[in-house]
Structure formats: structure tokens, C-alpha cells
Amino acid sequence: MFAPIYLGLISGTSADAIDAALVTFEGDRPHTVATSATPYAADTRQRILDLALDREVANFDRSGALDVEIGHAFADAAEALIAGSGVDRQHIRALGSHGQTLWHRPYARHPFTIQLGDPNVLAERLRITTVADFRRRDLAAGGQGAPLAPAFHAACLSAPDEVRAVLNLGGIANLTLLTPDAPVRGFDTGPASGLMDAWCQEHTGAAFDGNGELATRGQIDKALLARWMADPYFSRAAPKSTGRETFQLQWLRMQLQGDESIADVQATLLALTVQTVVEALRRECPQTARVIGCGGGVHNGRLMAMLREALAPVHLDTTASHGIDPDYVEAIAFAWLARETLEGRPGNRPEVTGARGPRVLGAIWPA
């Protein structure tokens, strides 16, 4: 008898690729079958960023067409992963698709969040039960709709004898606080790779600052760092979540005086990520003994070195040391959330999102 396989799909804040993971679960412990990262076509990614960053006025035609286009891109990524893995799709019980966040407005008068990637396209093309639209039920229950990964972190990365924090270094950084015999907590701390990638691409043409080399050539501008740190988001109490609707290049430029070097700004952005993470951790969970990193930022050697130094004596490692590929934690998390939905179990954590209570998340599109 085959263990049920689940497929998780997500594209993060940076909209650089669609991460896909085929996994089985032993209890809550994931066992990875196959993974892939499929870049968007350049024109698709540009349309996503233009709409998300308000460089183009959104309308129903553009956003509706993009919803279907991203759905097909997700389906292509899933098809390629299934074919390359040799898995019989009849053994895939369900897929969980986060989609591509275009707008996240938890502080609006009528809070909303929009993830594109039409699940009807996925269900129709793949003929696999599809679970999607995970965030809006939590919002309807008074929550932020984010972050959702802490429930998965708590299930598979907590320890009965150690206070831990899981640090996701994606476009936005977020922390999950895992204290034995206490409710899981979690929140977005602020920008991580998103702003660093955007600044690097604008000024060098490179999609990201490989290993933090540009930042290493610069000096931290302490006055600029202080101006950025004055943003009220950083001192706001949890639950809280954010995204590129706030932390984008326009936000960055508002505090520039015009004479800063490209490398100095990059170095200061990296320092901003470090300082906001470390201050949040010390404020919210000073007894933390171990920080477990994941997300693309763990490959930035300069960022990890500065975090390790700033966090000491807290131990810093990555999910790789705990048997989970750091690049695919979120894709695996949405495979896990799809399983929870099908089993009728809540996928949110009210202490994290601020929702009125536990909720079964997402909607189901039958195969």
C-alpha cells in the first residue's frame, strides 16, 4: 500500500520562481519525494511585479488574465515535477497551492488578500484534488491571513526540551516562536531578500546579491539605518504581517539623501534585516536557544554570518540540519496544509494570525 503523496506549490514575495514539492508524511514529519523550482517567464514576472508594485493600474482584464496565466504556470511546474519524479499521479491525494500573492492588505478598512493562480486550472489540467485560497478564511475570522507556515513549523520543528525560533528569510522575514508547553507564536519581522534583490537588480542587473558580495563591498550607513528603523511597523505588536505593498523600492528611496553609494545601501539593507530580526526575537522570546533558518536568504553567506554574530550565544542552523530542505519549507508547508484541510483540521494558529479561533483553511476543487 502506497503512502499518500501531497504536492505543494508556492511562489513567494519575490515572484522569482514557482517552488514545488512532492512529499509524504509520517505523522507530521515530511519525507520529500521530489522538488523543483521553475522560474516564471520573464514577461509573466514583469506583469506580476508591475501590478503588485502599482507600476501599472490594476483592472479586471489584466488581473483576471494574469490569474489564469499563473494558474497555467503552476500547472506546468507541477506537470514537470510529476513527470521527472516518476510518481504515478493516482498516488497523489491532493495538491495545496498558495498561489502568487499580488496584494495583501490586512490593515485595510475591509481587510483582504489576493493570491493569483486559478485553482480551477490546476484541478482541470492535473486531475488532482486541489486545495487553495488558504488565507481568506483566517481574514474573515478577524486574523491577518498570515503567516500560515507557523502551524507546520510547530508540527515538525518543535522540541520538548528547547525553546526554538524558525526564521524564514524569503522576500519578507518572519519568525515562528516555539516554546515547549506554550502556544506557537509567529509574525513578519520586515523585509529580507525582497528589498535587497530589488536594489541589486536595479543597480547591477543581477537578480540577487550572490552570497552578499555587493553588501560586503559597502559600509553600513547608521543614519540611514536609523531612518528605516523608525518605520512604525517594526515596533508594532504582533500579530502582524506585511509584504511588498509596504516594503518596496519607493519605501527605501524615501529615506535616501541622494549621495549614498550603491554598495552602502545594500550593506545597510542587509543590516536592516539582521537588526529587525534580532530585536524582534529578543523582545518577543528572549529565552530562545536555537534559531532554525529557511528560505532563499540562508544562501546569503554575509547575511547568515551577521545573523550568527548578532544572535550569539543563540545557536543558528538551518532546516537542513533537521532533515528539511531550506528552499522548499513553504512548498512542503502548503502540501501539509492541504492534508489538514482534507482531514477537517484547522490550519491556522489564532495566536499567530489574531483570528477569533482555529479555522479549517482553504477551499477544495475536486479532481
Which domains are assigned to the chain? 5-146+328-365 (3.30.420.40), 149-322 (3.30.420.40)
The per-residue pLDDT string of the chain (367 residues; one tens digit each, 9 = 90 and over) reads 578 999 999 999 888 899 999 999 999 999 999 999 999 999 999 899 888 877 666 788 889 999 999 999 999 999 999 999 999 999 999 999 999 999 899 999 999 999 999 999 999 999 999 999 999 999 999 999 999 999 999 999 999 999 999 999 999 999 999 999 999 999 999 999 999 999 999 999 998 999 999 999 999 999 999 999 999 999 999 999 998 888 999 999 999 999 999 999 999 999 999 999 999 999 999 999 999 999 999 999 999 999 999 999 999 999 999 999 999 999 999 999 999 999 999 999 999 999 999 999 999 999 9
* Beta bridge pairs of residue 185: 177
Q: Are 195 and 201 in contact (CB under 8 A)?
A: no
pLDDT at res. 59: 80
- For residue 1, what pLDDT is reported? 59
What confidence tens digit (pLDDT) does each residue in 117-174 have?
999 999 999 999 999 999 999 999 999 999 999 999 999 999 999 999 999 999 999 9
Q: Which of 228, 210, 209 is nearest to 268 (CA)?
A: 228
Nearest Cα to 139, choosing from 346, 365, 354, 342?
A: 354
**Residue 56, pLDDT score:** 63
Distance CA 71, CA 23 (A): 21
Query: What is the spatial distance between Cα 178 and Cα 166, in angstroms, rounded to a whole number?
Result: 8
Residues in the chain: 367
The pLDDT value given to residue 55: 64
Q: How many helices (H) and strands (E) are present in the chain, helices listed first? A: 13, 12
